[in-house]
Structure 1
Amino acid sequence: MADDSDRVRLLDRKYRELAMSTFAFETRLTHRLGYLRTFASPRIAGLLRHTGQMGAEPRRRAYDTGLFMRAIIDAGLESPTGQCGVARLNVMHRQWRITNDDYVWVLGTFAVVNIRMIRRAGWRPITRAEQQTVIDWHVELGTRMGITDIPTDFATFDAWFTAYEARMLRRTPAGDELLRLAIGVVASTIPRRLRRPALALVPVLIEEPARTALGFRRPGLPARFVIGLLLAVRSWRRRRSGPPGPWFALGEPNGEYPDGWTLDDLGPRRSYTTETGRGD
């Protein structure tokens, strides 16, 4: 048991370095786009609409998703904070009937898409060992959430993820509604005069078939050029400036929690429905 704990602590340290320092920008971008990507799944979008939390508190729902992941990554799965965070996630999810495949796919929106994003937008290439660290950490997280049959290497997980998306993703009214609410949250953080051009760049960073399932049109050449230029400039600056300083602190005040927060504050304040959830 001690050996396994030591293994996970080492994995925590390695992944924390990647996600919170080496590829911090790429990982944060992955988490934000992955949140939107879940609306492309009819079953998951249907469940999210059914619970009512997104409709009642879209801003809080968006913040909570990111804070949960950052807290667990920063503290580590073996830490009291990490164990509490996983336990909270389990309590929130177990009241709904969610298929194992859907769980694996959502896990892939963090793991597989993170590696894809680093390969596409990273300031330097990601090594095979770093790719395996990303996969290993998410397999450990998923296992602690009771998820089974998680692919254990990037090539296998990437192929599984691609096949799932080709088979399962499609546009739905629930997905459209949730995306509209989420985009409204994003837009509220952008100066008004910059909202339209900034939001027009979002589809460039989401691949097919998720892009079409979310109702986005194929981005034009100008949008693709702007994104390419911005990423190139950002990579150049990152190589010159070195790793970023600390940018996350557990419980730190933010726009949704101006007085600070704890893990107990995250998640639904109340049950928005008394029914057992099933996706459309």
Structure 2
Amino acid sequence: MGSDAERVRRLDREYRELAMSTFVFETRLAHRLSYFRTFASPRIAGLLKHTGQMQAEPRRRAYDTGLMMYALIDAGLESPTGRHAVSRLHQMHRRWRITNDDYIWVLGTFAVMSVRMIERAGWRAITEAEKQTVIDWHVELGSRMGITDVPLDPQSFDAWFSAYEARMLRRTDAGQELLRLAMDVVGSQIPKRLRRPVLSLAPVLIDEPARSALGFGTPNWLARTTVAVLLQVRAWRRRRSGPPEKPFFEMGGVNSEYPDGWTLDDLGPRRSSELEQPKQ
């Protein structure tokens, strides 16, 4: 038991360094896009719409997803905070009938898409060992959540993820409704005069088949070129400046949604009744 705990603590340290320092921009971008990507799955979008939480509080739902994930990364899975965060995730999901494949896919929107984003937009190439660290950490998270049969290496997980998406993703009314709400949240954080051009670039960063399943068209050459140039400039600046000196995440820190700070117990549905709905 002791050796396994030490293995996870070492994995926590390695992944924390990748996600919150070495490839912090790339990982955060992947996580934000993964939030949109879940609306491309009819079963996931249908469940999210059924719970009603996003329609009631779209901004809070978006914040909670990010805060929970970075609480896990920052504290580590083997920490008391990490174990409590996993317990909260169990509490929020256990009442719903979610297939194991859907759980693996949602896990992959963080794991697989982080690797893909770093490969596409990274300020340097990601090593094979670093790819494996990303996968290993998410496999460990999945194991603690009771998810089984998660692919164990980057190539296998990427292939599984692509096969699931080809089989399962398609455009739905529920997905479109949730996407509009999420885009409104993102748009509210962008200066009004830049809102439309910035949001128009999002489809460039979303690959197929998710892009079509989310209702986006094929980006034109100007959008593709603009994104490519912006990513190249950012990578150049990162190589010159080094990693950010100030951490972007603070456990329990004040933000616009939680002006007095937050705890893990604040994240998720506000009313206990929302956790007691029957399985769908």
TM-score (norm 1): 0.98
Which residue of the partner structure matches residue 251 of structure 1? 252
- How many residues end up aligned between the 2 structures? 278
1:74 counterpart letter in structure 2? D
1:82 and 2:76 correspond: no
Distance 1:266 1:273, change over 3 A: closer
How far apart in 2 are the matches of 1:118 and 1:181? 27
> Any unmatched runs of 5+ in structure 2?
none
1:175 counterpart letter in structure 2? G
How far apart in 2 are the matches of 1:27 and 1:90? 24
Distance 1:71 1:85, change over 3 A: same
1:276 and 2:278 correspond: yes
SS at match of 2:78: coil
1:2 and 2:2 correspond: yes
How far apart in 2 are the matches of 1:161 and 1:61? 25
Which residue of the partner structure matches residue 266 of structure 1? 267
Contact 1:26/1:122 (CA < 8 Å) preserved in 2? yes
How far apart in 2 are the matches of 1:272 and 1:81? 23
Alpha-carbon deviation of 1:276?
2.2
2:261 counterpart letter in structure 1? G
- The residue correspondences of 1:1-280 to structure 2 (distance < 5 A) are 1-245=1-245, 246-270=247-271, 271-272=273-274, 275-278=277-280
Contact 2:269/2:275 (CA < 8 Å) preserved in 1? no
Which string of whole-angstrom CA distances, capped at 9 and with x for unpartnered residues, describes residues 87-131 of structure 1? 100110111000000000000000001000000000000000000
> Any unmatched runs of 5+ in structure 1?
none
TM-score (norm 2): 0.98
Alpha-carbon deviation of 1:277?
4.0
Contact 1:51/1:273 (CA < 8 Å) preserved in 2? no
SS at match of 1:71: helix
1:263 counterpart letter in structure 2? L
How far apart in 1 are the matches of 2:232 and 2:28? 17
Contact 1:45/1:174 (CA < 8 Å) preserved in 2? yes
Contact 1:47/1:277 (CA < 8 Å) preserved in 2? no
How far apart in 2 are the matches of 1:129 and 1:197? 37
Greater alpha carbon shift after TM alignment, 262-271 vs 4-13: 262-271
Alpha-carbon deviation of 1:255?
1.1
Alpha-carbon deviation of 1:272?
4.3
Contact 1:59/1:185 (CA < 8 Å) preserved in 2? yes
Percent identity of equivalent pairs: 73
How far apart in 2 are the matches of 1:160 and 1:10? 27
How far apart in 2 are the matches of 1:137 and 1:272? 30
SS at match of 1:138: helix
Which string of whole-angstrom CA distances, capped at 9 and with x for unpartnered residues, describes residues 67-97 of structure 1? 0000110000001110100110011011100
Alpha-carbon deviation of 1:275?
4.1
